[in-house]
Amino acid sequence: MSTRIMRAAGRPAVPWRNGGGVTREIASWPPGPAGSGFAWRVSLAEVATDGPFSVFPGVDRILTMVEGAGMALTTTPAAGGTPGSRMVDARYVPQHFPGDVPTDCRLLDGPVANLNVMHNRTSGLAVRVEVARGHRSRWPDGPGTALAIPLDGPAVLAGETTTTLLPYDAVLCTGTDTGTSTGDAGPDPGGLLECAGRLALISMRPV
């Protein structure tokens, strides 16, 4: 098992092709250029204007709004399908939907920020996202990946050393056959994680 700390400060912002926002990648596997073939990818997207989401063939998306008033999403399935709609107006509630169905976004009242977790359906991984409050736990061991991101306050990772995580910093714990495309490796800072605010807990485990 290994642990990496990934700081939000200095995380590059990649503008969308349509100019409607930017994406800051937190971690992905396997390493590669943004948007290339990945088994999983975690990022923070800042949506500034109405417009379409990018389409990712063969990918499922778990979106959690972490800032802003909300979005109205409209999906346009393949020919013969029925268009759908979804209101995303509650923060910190993970929303599951296919990333390969064209989806249009209308902002309800100004910009929003979304935590995006995407995974390829052929990756052989079970992916889970939950948002906990006042969380205290130890990192699990074994194959796969666990990722924790403080959303609205600091968190503390304690062990041989004590590390403070600021909002949108991330700590990544990897077992076997997984990894990250970003972040600085260093001494394992320990396994006890405490957070008084909200914490996104993401797991990618082999099935």
The Cα-based distances of 68 to 46, 87, 89, 166, 201 in angstroms read 10, 13, 9, 19, 21
CA angle 10, 148, 107 (to 5 degrees): 70
pTM exceeds 0.75, yes or no: yes
Q: How far is 154 from 42, CA to CA, in rounded Å?
A: 19
Token readout for 27 is 């971690």
Domains, the chain, ordered by start: 10-120 (2.60.120.10), 125-206 (2.60.120)
The pLDDT of residue 181:
42
pLDDT tens, N- to C-terminus, the chain (207 residues): 688 899 999 899 999 888 899 999 999 998 655 555 899 999 999 999 999 999 999 999 999 999 999 999 999 876 667 788 999 999 999 999 999 999 999 999 999 999 999 999 999 999 999 999 987 776 656 678 999 999 999 999 887 788 999 999 999 988 754 444 444 444 344 568 899 899 999 999 999
Q: Which of 165, 153, 152, 151 is nearest to 193 (CA)?
A: 165
The pLDDT of residue 75:
92
